[in-house]
C-alpha cells in the first residue's frame, strides 16, 4: 500500500476506534477492563506543562493501569540526567493508577556527545536507570500492581534484567521487553555490542517465556510493550536502518504464528500514532492476521491511547485516541 493509502487507513481506523471506545474503567461484558498507553513526551522544557496535562487526564480516567513506552524527555534537555529521572519518577509515583515504565533510548543509548550530552556514557546510564526505576516487585504509582520480573529467575544471567516484566489481567497476558531505538544499542561501541548481544539473547528468552505463559494462562491475547519501532520498512521510521532487532523480530513472527490468537506489539520511538498490520508482509502475501502494531503519540503530540479489553470482541482490544483538550494547538488557517 502506498504512503497516502496507509495514512487514510490509519486515520479512518483511529476515528472509528475513537468512536467505539467506552469511557468507563470497566466496559462491555464480564472480564472487560480499560488501561492507558503513553510515552515519548516533553522533550523540550516548554513541553513540561503538556506532559502534566496528559498525566492529569490519565489520573481522572477510570483505568486499571497505565504503561509508559519509554523516552522520558529529550537528551539535550535532561533525559539522561538524574534530575529529570527524579522528576519523572515523582510524577509516575503520583499516578493514581499503577504505572509500568519500559526504558527508551533517550534514557541511555542516546546519552552521548553526538546527541548533545557531553561526556555521556550510555552503559553507565543503563546501570543507573535500572537501579533508579526498577526496584521491588511492584509497579510505580499510588496503587501498585505486582509484576513478575525476569530478574526473579534463579539463573544469574537474568539478574540485572529487572525492567523486563510480565503481568496478567483478565484474559490477557502483558509483558514489557527492553528493546530500544538507536538500533537497540548495537553498533555504537565494542562495549555496547557486548551489552546488546547479551540483552538480545535475554529478550528472546523473555519473549518465548511470555508466549508460553500466555498459553499456560489460556489467555485470549498477549500484549508486548517496548520502546523501539522495529518495522523500518514502514515509514516514518526513526534513524538509520539497522540489524539490532532483526533476530528478535523473526522470533516475534514465529511465536505469533504458533500462538494463533491476538498479538499486539505496542511501541513509541517514531512519535507517530498508528494502528497497522506490518508483520509478515511479503509481495502478494497478506500480513499476519492475528498481529497488530500500535504506536503511541509522541512529542509534539501530547496525547494518550485508551485501550478497552473486551472478551466479547473478536479482536480482544479496542483502541481509542485520547486527545488532551488543553494540549490541542490553537490554529489559524493561513494560505
Ligand atoms: Fe522518542
Could you tell me the distance, in angstroms and rounded to a whole number, from the CA of residue 188 to the centre of ligand 1?
A: 18
Kindly calculate the radius of gyration of the chain based on its CA atoms and give it in whole angstroms: 19
Could you tell me the distance, in angstroms and rounded to a whole number, from the CA of residue 80 to the centre of ligand 1?
A: 13
What CATH number does residue 59 fall under?
Answer: 3.60.21.10
Could you tell me the distance, in angstroms and rounded to a whole number, from the CA of residue 73 to the centre of ligand 1?
A: 7
Could you tell me the distance, in angstroms and rounded to a whole number, from the CA of residue 298 to the centre of ligand 1?
A: 7
Which residues span the domain enclosing 223?
3-326
By the 8 A CB rule, do 228 and 267 touch? yes
Q: Structure pTM?
A: 0.91
Distance CA 68, CA 267 (A): 9
Could you tell me the distance, in angstroms and rounded to a whole number, from the CA of residue 314 to the centre of ligand 1?
A: 32
Could you tell me the distance, in angstroms and rounded to a whole number, from the CA of residue 95 to the centre of ligand 1?
A: 21
By the 8 A CB rule, do 297 and 324 touch? no
Instruction: Provide the total of helices (H) and of strands (E) in the chain, helices listed first.
Output: 7, 12
Distance CA 165, CA 176 (A): 5
C-alpha of 85 from chain center: 18
Could you tell me the distance, in angstroms and rounded to a whole number, from the CA of residue 228 to the centre of ligand 1?
A: 9
Position 332 in a domain: no
Distance CA 243, CA 227 (A): 16
Could you tell me the distance, in angstroms and rounded to a whole number, from the CA of residue 50 to the centre of ligand 1?
A: 15
pLDDT at 30: 66
Terminal-residue alpha carbon distance, the chain = 31
Give the model confidence (pLDDT) of 170-215 as tens digits: 999 999 999 999 999 999 999 999 999 999 999 999 999 999 999 9
Grid cell locating 287: 500480513
Position 331 in a domain: no
Position 335 in a domain: no
Grid cell locating 147: 509484576
Could you tell me the distance, in angstroms and rounded to a whole number, from the CA of residue 134 to the centre of ligand 1?
A: 20
Could you tell me the distance, in angstroms and rounded to a whole number, from the CA of residue 183 to the centre of ligand 1?
A: 13
Grid cell locating 78: 535532561
Could you tell me the distance, in angstroms and rounded to a whole number, from the CA of residue 97 to the centre of ligand 1?
A: 23
Concatenated DSSP letters for 246-306?
HHHHHHHHHHHHHH-SEEEEEE-SS---EEE--TT-BTTBPPPTTEEEEE---TT---EEE
Give the model confidence (pLDDT) of 205-264 as tens digits: 999 999 999 999 999 999 999 999 999 999 998 877 788 999 999 999 999 999 999 999
Concatenated DSSP letters for 32-60?
-EEEEEE-S---SGGGHHHHHHHHHHHHH
* Number of domains the chain is built from: 1
Backbone phi, psi, residue 262, to 5°: -60, 130
Position 10 in a domain: yes
Position 12 in a domain: yes
Position 334 in a domain: no
pLDDT at 13: 38
Amino acid at each position: 500500500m502506498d504512503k497516502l493509502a496507509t495514512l487514510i487507513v490509519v486515520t479512518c481506523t483511529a476515528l472509528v476506534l475513537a468512536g467505539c471506545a467506552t469511557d468507563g474503567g470497566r466496559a462491555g461484558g464480564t472480564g472487560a477492563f480499560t488501561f492507558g498507553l503513553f510515552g515519548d513526551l516533553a522533550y523540550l522544557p516548554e513541553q513540561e506543562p503538556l506532559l502534566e496535562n496528559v498525566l492529569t487526564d490519565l489520573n481522572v480516567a477510570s483505568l486499571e493501569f497505565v504503561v509508559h513506552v519509554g523516552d522520558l524527555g529529550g537528551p539535550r534537555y535532561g533525559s539522561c540526567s538524574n534530575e529529570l529521572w527524579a522528576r519523572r519518577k515523582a510524577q509516575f509515583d503520583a499516578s493514581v493508577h499503577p504505572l509500568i515504565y519500559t526504558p527508551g533510548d533517550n534514557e541511555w543509548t542516546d546519552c552521548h556527545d553526538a546527541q548533545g550530552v557531553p561526556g555521556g556514557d550510555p552503559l553507565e546510564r543503563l546501570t543507573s536507570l535500572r537501579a533508579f526505576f526498577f526496584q521491588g516487585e511492584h509497579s510505580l504509582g499510588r496503587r501498585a500492581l505486582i509484576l513478575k520480573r525476569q530478574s526473579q529467575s534463579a539463573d544469574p544471567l537474568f539478574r540485572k534484567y529487572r525492567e523486563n516484566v510480565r503481568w496478567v489481567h483478565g484474559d490477557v497476558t502483558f509483558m514489557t521487553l527492553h528493546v530500544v531505538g538507536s538500533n537497540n544499542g548495537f553498533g555504537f561501541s565494542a562495549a555496547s555490542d557486548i551489552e546488546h548481544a547479551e540483552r538480545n539473547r535475554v529478550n528472546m528468552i523473555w519473549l518465548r517465556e511470555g508466549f508460553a505463559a500466555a498459553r499456560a494462562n489460556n489467555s485470549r491475547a498477549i500484549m508486548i510493550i517496548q520502546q523501539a519501532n522495529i518495522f523500518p520498512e514502514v515509514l516514518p521510521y526513526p534513524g538509520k536502518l539497522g540489524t539490532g532487532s532483526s533476530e528478535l523480530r523473526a522470533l516475534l513472527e514465529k511465536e505469533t504464528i504458533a500462538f494463533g490468537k491476538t498479538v499486539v506489539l505496542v511501541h513509541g520511538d517514531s512519535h507517530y500514532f498508528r494502528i497497522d498490520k506490518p508483520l509478515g508482509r511479503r509481495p502478494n502475501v497478506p500480513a499476519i492476521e492475528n498481529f497488530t502494531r500500535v504506536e503511541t503519540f509522541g512529542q509534539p503530540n501530547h496525547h494518550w491511547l485508551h485501550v478497552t479489553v473486551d472478551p466479547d470482541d473478536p479482536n480482544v482490544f479496542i483502541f481509542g485516541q485520547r486527545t488532551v483538550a488543553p494540549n490541542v494547538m490553537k490554529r489559524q488557517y493561513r494560505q
